[in-house]
Structure 1
Amino acid sequence: MKKSKIKMISVTFILLYVCYILVSQQITIMNKKAQLEDSKLELERVTNENLKLKDEKGMSETDRYMEKLSRERLGFIKQGENVIVEKKK
């Protein structure tokens, strides 16, 4: 009778330990999936930004882009154009 109690306790302990391991593995898997999803989103964002920068680089080599920058940043205008200045509130 004593041996059967010890076996029962041992089996119960082993089953509880196995359940603990399985649950902790599931939690780890869920965390890794979340990290993977975050990494995929970050990769997509960086890829889009990279494409945008490549487009800007290509545009920066054109005369139209240089003209646009001159107008926006330096306030240059073409001869014969009228300038409209917005009052700051």
Structure 2
Amino acid sequence: MKRIQEDIVISQKELEELKDKNSKLEADLKKVDSNEYIEKLARDRLGMIKEGEKVVNPKTQN
């Protein structure tokens, strides 16, 4: 009987950890679905700019 109770406690802890992970993933999903995040990716990864903006590249030192 004690073994079953220990298993229940372990399972409850695992369930709470999974619920926390699920909540974090849901928050990440909302962030990824936002216009701000999409714009950040377009700028950072694709080098895109908005109309009227100018790209400034810093001079590299030798």
- Using the aligned pairs only, state the percent identity: 6
> Between Structure 1 and Structure 2, how many residues are aligned?
51
1:35, CA displacement in angstroms? 0.8
1:34-60: CA deviation from partner (whole Å, max 9, x where unpaired): 111111101101210220121121122
Q: Secondary structure at the match of 1:82?
A: coil
Q: Which has the larger radius of gyration?
A: 1
1:26-37 equivalence runs, <5 A: 26-37=2-13
With normalisation by structure 2, the TM-score equals 0.61
Q: Which segments of 5 or more consecutive residues in structure 1 lack a partner in the other structure?
A: 1-24, 72-77, 85-89
Map of 2:24 onto structure 1: 48
Runs of 4+ in 1 over 3 A off after TM superposition: none
Structure 2 portions without partners, runs of 5+: 48-53
Structure with a larger share of its residues in helix: 1
Distance (Å, rounded) in 2 between the aligned partners of 1:45 and 1:33: 19
